[in-house]
Structure 1
Amino acid sequence: MTRLSVNINKIATLRNSRGGHMPSVLDAAINCQKFGAEGITVHPRPDERHITRQDVYDIKPHISTEFNIEGYPSEAFIQLVLDVKADQVTLVPDQPGQLTSDHGWDTITNHDFLVDVIGRFKAAGIRTSIFVDPDLKQIEGASRVGTDRIELYTEPYATLYPIDADKAVEPFVKAAELAHEFNLGINAGHDLSLKNLKFLIDKIPYIDEVSIGHALIADALYLGLRNTIHEYLDCIRP
């Protein structure tokens, strides 16, 4: 069964726009969990423009569901994840200051680097996932670096979905099938929404987890956080 992890970065963005502590990132994490989310995702960037390092330390003791930390594996990021003993770490190939994640790892060129980083997390008992494009060569490369899961970068799917849903999902189905053959867990995220999520899950029913932030928080402005989480859960339930 696919699990829903809520990315609360946008809550932190709103808070940081005025300074202070409103809205509370910690309260958001607690409420997402209370309303049925099966994971909380944060992406602390080096410039701390949304989630801060302190947020990560503050949230962890209050989360009884999965705590997933995304980020580029700099030494500072690696130490943060090890310090809080995240349940899952999702590695992204972002450059410092990048607006948002927009591509997956080149798992072939970065093979040795990924093997080293993933090994450090796995030695600490932290499940690893790496961001990848729906490219079969990159999926095969991912199978060789020791990661537990991949996270399919789904923006291309979301962009094409309104025009041709079947064409949009086709490369993701093929990528997921190959990952499944390699016994890799499969996560998915980026630009997933109430409009396109159910179709993706119907086509790839063995996705383990979807991580959704921007669209979910935007929907919550109109529907309320509890109702929104329930709507997203309805999309991923059989």
Structure 2
Amino acid sequence: MSARLRLGVNIDHVATIRNARGGPHPDPARAAAIAAAAGADGITIHLREDRRHIRDGDLDAIRAASALPINLEMAATEEMTAIAEAYRPHAACIVPERREERTTEGGLNVAGLHNQIAPIVRRLNEAGARVSLFIEPDPVQIAVSEVLGAPVVELHTGRYAELWAEGGLEAAQPELVRLAAAAADARRRGIEPHAGHGLTFENVGPVAAIAELAELNIGHFLMGEAIFIGLDASIREMRRRMDEARA
């Protein structure tokens, strides 16, 4: 496996700010171009059912703005599957989605939703997208992901981030151990493990140091930090901290 950990930059919340007022500014496509220049390895976007941030019209604009591979996060619905089939992103990450949530609150229960997700995974594979399942770092969810034929899982780091906020590395250590075990389990099954949610400059290091992980997807923190230091500097600093952890 490659020692270099890829960074996928989620630009959803550039669109969140744009949509708060209406009009074209700030432009998420411009953010995609800046991310590419700053050292990102991919662009992640979540087209939600309620279109609260990224909208359908952004899809082609973001693709035109950067040559980076696009990771389309999507709910397991017929509408989103049809959009992904037509758009043909590099990767499609199936995530849980509820209208009332502020952000994704946990991993997808692929064990409980096997019959719903299986045909979607098949259709996305046939469309040429690299299918990823956003799951908790749980051995049952990983085993079912293998049965479903997903080449990638993205491990939810939200609980790790919450524990870190409460008590730093000591408090988060049990969840870090669980993440490392899940990443190793995925590798043993021939699945490429990614991770993301709630990662910051302060807490990214221990996760980035998990050798089995191939990619981190980070968005909200980078966009928030960009208010203070700029998007280019925010991404470059995250890239530096990830590289330092791997070294």
With normalisation by structure 2, the TM-score equals 0.92
User: What is aligned with 1:6?
Assistant: 9
Residues 159-184 of structure 1, C-alpha deviations (whole Å, 9 max, x = no match): 11215242230111111111111010
User: What is aligned with 1:130?
Assistant: 133
2:19 to 2, 16, 23: 16
2:207 to 178, 200, 203: 200
2:155 to 152, 155, 158: 152
Letter matched to residue 227 of structure 2: L
1:216 is aligned to 2:216: no
2:173 to 151, 166, 171: 166
1:178 to 185, 189, 197: 185
1:231 is aligned to 2:234: no
Once residues 12 and 110 of structure 2 are traced to their aligned partners in structure 1, the CA distance between those partners, rounded to angstroms, is 26
State the identity as a percent. 31
Letter matched to residue 68 of structure 1: N
Range 100-109 or range 146-155, more displaced:
100-109
Letter matched to residue 113 of structure 2: N
Once residues 219 and 181 of structure 1 are traced to their aligned partners in structure 2, the CA distance between those partners, rounded to angstroms, is 36
Once residues 47 and 53 of structure 1 are traced to their aligned partners in structure 2, the CA distance between those partners, rounded to angstroms, is 11
Letter matched to residue 31 of structure 1: I
Q: Would you say the 8 A contact 2:11–2:31 is kept in 1?
A: yes
Q: Would you say the 8 A contact 1:154–1:191 is kept in 2?
A: yes
The structural deviation recorded for 1:60 is: 1.6
The structural deviation recorded for 1:58 is: 1.9
Q: Would you say the 8 A contact 1:60–1:84 is kept in 2?
A: no
Q: Unmatched 5+ residue regions in structure 1?
A: none
User: What is aligned with 1:189?
Assistant: 196
Letter matched to residue 115 of structure 2: D
Residues 136-169 of structure 1, C-alpha deviations (whole Å, 9 max, x = no match): 1111111110101000010111111215242230
Counting matched residue pairs gives 237
Once residues 174 and 112 of structure 2 are traced to their aligned partners in structure 1, the CA distance between those partners, rounded to angstroms, is 29
Once residues 123 and 55 of structure 2 are traced to their aligned partners in structure 1, the CA distance between those partners, rounded to angstroms, is 23
Q: Would you say the 8 A contact 1:6–1:41 is kept in 2?
A: yes
1:142 is aligned to 2:148: no
Once residues 83 and 96 of structure 1 are traced to their aligned partners in structure 2, the CA distance between those partners, rounded to angstroms, is 24
The structural deviation recorded for 1:97 is: 4.4
User: What is aligned with 1:26?
Assistant: 29
Alignment of 1:48-63 (within 5 A): 48-63=51-66
Q: Would you say the 8 A contact 2:76–2:116 is kept in 1?
A: no
Q: Unmatched 5+ residue regions in structure 2?
A: none
Once residues 137 and 180 of structure 1 are traced to their aligned partners in structure 2, the CA distance between those partners, rounded to angstroms, is 15
Once residues 31 and 105 of structure 1 are traced to their aligned partners in structure 2, the CA distance between those partners, rounded to angstroms, is 31
Q: Would you say the 8 A contact 2:30–2:65 is kept in 1?
A: no
Once residues 119 and 62 of structure 1 are traced to their aligned partners in structure 2, the CA distance between those partners, rounded to angstroms, is 29
Q: Would you say the 8 A contact 2:10–2:217 is kept in 1?
A: yes
The structural deviation recorded for 1:39 is: 0.7
Once residues 201 and 58 of structure 1 are traced to their aligned partners in structure 2, the CA distance between those partners, rounded to angstroms, is 31
Moved over 4 A (4+): none
